[in-house]
């Protein structure tokens, strides 16, 4: 299994398939790079080099006690990009991975990057504050912390329902997708996943978004119950100059997995435009 060893000794697992212009996928919490398998196959078959890593303490990467914060995630991503010498790169980030991509660009620059796609992404800020009244109150994230700390397995099973919109009237529940989510979540380390909750909820990515100077596409479900669109893509797409916002009406947080054909086609169109 291919891995890089970062400067602090952490092993970051990644998948690297195909040839052509590289696309790097950054996953959401508490998942892993395998969440992108429908995209990896599709874009690999369409002539792109596809790379997906497991964030530290997630998936097959090292489970670290320290360093589970966004500065380090961005630095790990930079080390991977530099180790693989990726250029003319398309970065695609979902949820927490959208924060990771934004922070990488803000912290390490855009010289290796051609285009950016942020999907159900957490920027600019998920937490409700006086300056961000559209955000979610802190007790929501404290509840996620409690569920993760005390009953992680059941909490992850329950989380799949709003994550994929399976709790909505008339929704067709995909049990295989629920099981895949649970499996990826439980493969990660509890300490790193617990720490990561702060990173997707309380970190303000506004300044990172301001530094993005490459063509950027935001895709967000109007019925995203995990990262509400009003506090996320509606704001972020106005901060990034020239950004495009594509709203999937009635769609969920996990839209890339629930609607892979639609999502893949839209992203391919954007990449080729």
pLDDT tens for each residue of 206-254 = 999 999 999 999 999 999 999 999 999 999 999 999 999 999 999 999 9
Q: Is 234 a catalytic residue?
A: no
Indicate the domain borders of the chain: 3-272
Catalytic choice (53, 58, 103, 253): 253
For domain 3-272, the CATH superfamily is: Alpha/Beta hydrolase fold, catalytic domain (3.40.50.1820)
Q: Please identify which of the residues 94, 224, 251, 252 carries the catalytic annotation.
A: 224
Q: Supply the pTM of this predicted model.
A: 0.97
**Active-site residue 224, yes or no?**
yes
2-58 residue pLDDT tens: 999 999 999 999 999 999 999 999 999 999 999 999 999 999 999 999 999 999 999
184-210 per-position pLDDT tens digit: 999 999 999 999 999 999 999 999 999
Average pLDDT, the chain: 98
How large is the angle between the packed helices 175-187 and 138-163, nearest 10 degrees?
A: 130
The pLDDT of residue 1 is above 90: no
Q: Which residue in 95, 201, 236, 251 is the catalytic one? A: 95
Instruction: State yes or no: is 69 an active-site residue.
Output: no
What's the burial of 47, exposed, middle or buried (CB within 10 Å: 0-12/13-18/19+)? exposed
Report the alpha-carbon distance of residue 224 to residue 165 in Å, rounded: 8
């Amino acid at each position: 299994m291919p891995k890089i060893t970062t400067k602090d000794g952490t092993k970051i697992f990644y998948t690297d398939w195909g040839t052509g212009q590289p696309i790097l996928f950054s996953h959401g919490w508490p998942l892993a790079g395998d969440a992108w398998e429908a995209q990896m196959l599709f874009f690999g078959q369409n002539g792109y080099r596809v790379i997906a890593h497991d964030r530290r303490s997630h998936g097959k990467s090292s489970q670290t006690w320290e360093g589970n914060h966004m500065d380090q995630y961005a630095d790990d991503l930079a080390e991977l990009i530099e180790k693989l010498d990726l250029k003319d790169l398309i970065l695609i980030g979902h949820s927490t991975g959208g924060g990771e991509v934004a922070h990488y660009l803000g912290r390490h620059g855009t010289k290796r990057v051609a285009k950016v796609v942020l999907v159900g992404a957490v920027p600019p800020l998920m937490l409700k504050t006086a300056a961000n009244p559209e955000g979610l109150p802190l007790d929501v994230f404290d509840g996620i912390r409690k569920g993760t700390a005390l009953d992680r397995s059941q909490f992850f099973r329950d989380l799949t329902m709003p994550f994929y919109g399976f709790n909505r009237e008339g929704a067709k529940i995909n049990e295989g997708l629920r099981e895949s989510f649970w499996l990826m979540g439980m493969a990660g380390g509890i300490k790193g996943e617990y720490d990561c909750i702060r990173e997707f909820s309380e970190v303000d990515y506004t300044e990172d978004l301001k530094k993005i100077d490459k063509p950027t596409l935001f895709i967000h479900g109007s019925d995203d119950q995990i990262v509400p669109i009003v506090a996320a893509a509606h704001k972020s797409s106005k901060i990034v100059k020239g950004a495009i916002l594509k709203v999937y009406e009635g769609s969920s947080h996990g839209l890339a997995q629930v609607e892979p054909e639609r999502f893949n086609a839209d992203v391919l169109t954007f990449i080729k435009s």
